[in-house]
Amino acid sequence: MKQMDYAVYEHSLGVALVLMLFFAAYFLAGKTPDKPLFAPYVRSRRIMGAALLVLCVNYSVHLFGSLRSLHPGAAILMNLSTYFLVYWLFSAALTVLLDRFYVTRRRFLRHLACWGAFTALAAAVLIVVPPGAVQQAGLACLALWLLAYGLRLARRLIRTYRRAVRLCDDTHSEHIAAYIRWMSVFTWWAVIYGVSCGLLTFLPDRYVFLWVLSSIPFYIYLYWSYMNYLLFYEQVESVLEQEQPGTADAAPAADGVPPDMPTYHADIRKRLGAWVGRQGYTRPGLTIEELAGALGTNRTYLAAYIKSTYHASFREWIAGLRIEYAKQMLVRHPELTVAAVSEASGFLSLSYFTKIFAEKEGCPPSKWRKTARE
């Protein structure tokens, strides 16, 4: 490695190491509300902190031991082993935020054993197998194994995320799923970054500093996302708790279908129609649990009825009713501001109201009001 390149590499490692030590300290020791509800959040942060400490060890060895220039084979081995372990820790930390029962002793030991086998095989390829075509083929297979492992973990996390989004949309009138969107963004970013890191391990030395520099915005976004998520965690967790074992509504029929579906639909249609006529949907923060209680029915059946009748989630259906109500308000009360109409219609967020309105009507509320009055 050229002297100038090595200096850039060292400085990059130094900056990244300081930032990651700070982030790891926050994840491990940062204050959180002392409530049982925050247990998954605390567990997630500790797992993420452990992942960052593992990366800090990797960065420290490379920085203070000059591993890349003195022992390139050992550097590749350490990087492959570190990435494999960190992939699991990252995915586990994020998945715990959406599924508090994901990390179990059995699952942890299974992934730990897999990591040990991967590290041992990588060591055999780099130490036992002599340099040449066979070793390069072995390294390629290890890289593919690492890639497949990372993609499998990412797929599991994305599936958990989508299930959480569906649960939020099916049970809450507000756009609660917006608070967890950062997990999806971070997962895809992590996949791209992880694949890039794996490739950069085998690239010429003069390009390695790009791997280090790219980690800085990546981990800054992670830190910022966790800090910001703390503000909304209670709202999300209160929804996700409904899916935990033992908290779902008990269904009166074993197959999940009311015994007399036509009568049930006619009855729920009548009660729901009366509720809509009373404009009950304008109450902010409405949940399907509350609506089911007001109608004297089961929330599981009510969600199924709404989806089968209106072909929409609970959130989408409520938003549609509120938009229609807002349109009437915009025309009948020109003296009211768009913000006042949004609030009167039941929306907690003006930006969300404007976004939904524009998606449905093709233009913002203010422009629609001018057009409607002409």
Q: From 213, 217, 178, select the one nearest 9 (Cα to Cα).
A: 213
One domain for residues 261 and 196: no
State whether 303 and 357 are in the same domain. no
- Mean per-residue pLDDT over the chain, rounded: 85
My answer on whether 225 and 350 are in the same domain is no
User: What would the mean pLDDT of 336-353 be, rounded to a whole number?
Assistant: 93
Q: How far apart are CA 315 and CA 242, in angstroms?
A: 16
Whether residues 257 and 328 fall in one domain: no
At 82-122, the pLDDT tens digits run 989 999 999 999 999 999 899 999 999 999 999 999 999 99
How far apart are alpha carbons 294 and 266 in whole angstroms? Answer: 17
Q: What is the pLDDT of residues 171-187, one digit of tens each?
A: 999 999 999 999 988 88
Tell me: do 195 and 139 sit in the same domain: yes
167 and 187 assigned to the same domain: yes
The pLDDT value given to residue 6: 62
Contact 157, 91 (CB under 8 A): yes
Mean pLDDT is lowest, of 8-17, 211-220, 235-244, 255-264, for 255-264
The whole-model pTM stands at 0.84
Q: What pLDDT score was predicted for residue 89? A: 95
- Indicate if 21 and 69 belong to the same structural domain: yes
Q: How many angstroms separate the CA atoms of 206 and 216, rounded?
A: 18
Quick one: 225 and 265 in the same domain?
A: no
- pLDDT at residue 267, as a whole number: 81
In this structure, what token pair is assigned to residue 71? Answer: 């022992």
Tell me how far CA of residue 62 lies from CA of 15, 81, 144, 209, 214, in angstroms. 13, 14, 24, 12, 16
261, pLDDT greater than 80: no
10 shares its domain with 119: yes
Q: Are 96 and 130 within 8 A, CB to CB? A: no
Over residues 347-360, the mean pLDDT reads 92
| Structural domain that includes position 305 | 251-311
Same domain, 198 and 100: yes
Report whether pLDDT(161) > 70. Answer: yes
Nearest to 270 by CA among 305, 299, 303: 305
**In the predicted model, what is the mean pLDDT of residues 308-326?**
94
Which of the four pLDDT bands, split at 50, 70 and 90, describes residue 5?
A: low
- Residue-wise pLDDT for 192-226, tens only, equals 776 666 565 555 566 666 777 777 888 899 999 99
CB within 8 A of 34, min separation 6: which ones? none
- pLDDT (tens digit, 9 = 90+) per residue, 269-313? 889 999 999 999 999 999 999 999 998 888 888 888 899 899 999
Q: Which of 311, 329, 349 is the last residue of a domain?
A: 311
Last residue of a domain, one of 264, 286, 311: 311
Average pLDDT over residues 145-150: 90
- Output b/e per residue, 109-141; b: 16+ Cβ within 10 A: eebeeebeebbeebeebbeeeeeeeebeebbee
